[in-house]
């Protein structure tokens, strides 16, 4: 599958836009517990998410938000789910 940025002349996602240093892909977790990947420059420390990484992180946030909206209520003989 060809990415949108593959056709851009001179685009190199392993090269920093700010200082021209080398970027490496790293993984981190935010306070909500969502794990995401990002690119970090080894020279200036600039952190960037490309569109694929951003979409994956957003999908995890959507799943987390949907899971938090489910409420389980217990009744004597059955259970009730509110979504």
Single pTM value for the model:
0.60
Work out how many domains the chain is built from and give that number: 1
Question: What SS3 string covers 15-68?
Answer: ECCCCCCEEEEEEEECCCCCEEEEEEECCCCCEECCHHHHHHHHHHHHHHHHHH
Least confidently predicted of 5-9, 37-41, 58-62: 5-9
Domain that holds residue 60: 4-82
**Tens-place pLDDT, residues 9-35:** 556 778 887 788 899 999 988 887 888
CATH number at residue 10: 3.10.20
Give the 3-state secondary structure of residue 38. Answer: strand
Specify whether the CB–CB gap between 35 and 27 falls below 8 A.
yes
**Tens-place pLDDT, residues 49-61:** 888 888 888 898 8
């Amino acid at each position: 599958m060809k990415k949108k940025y593959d056709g851009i002349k001179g685009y190199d996602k392993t090269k920093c836009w700010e200082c021209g240093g080398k970027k490496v892909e790293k993984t981190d977790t935010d306070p909500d517990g969502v794990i995401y990947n990002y690119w970090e420059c080894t020279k200036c420390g600039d952190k960037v998410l490309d569109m694929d990484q951003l979409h994956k992180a957003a999908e995890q946030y959507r799943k987390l938000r949907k899971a938090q909206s489910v409420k389980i209520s217990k009744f004597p003989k059955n259970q009730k789910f509110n979504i």
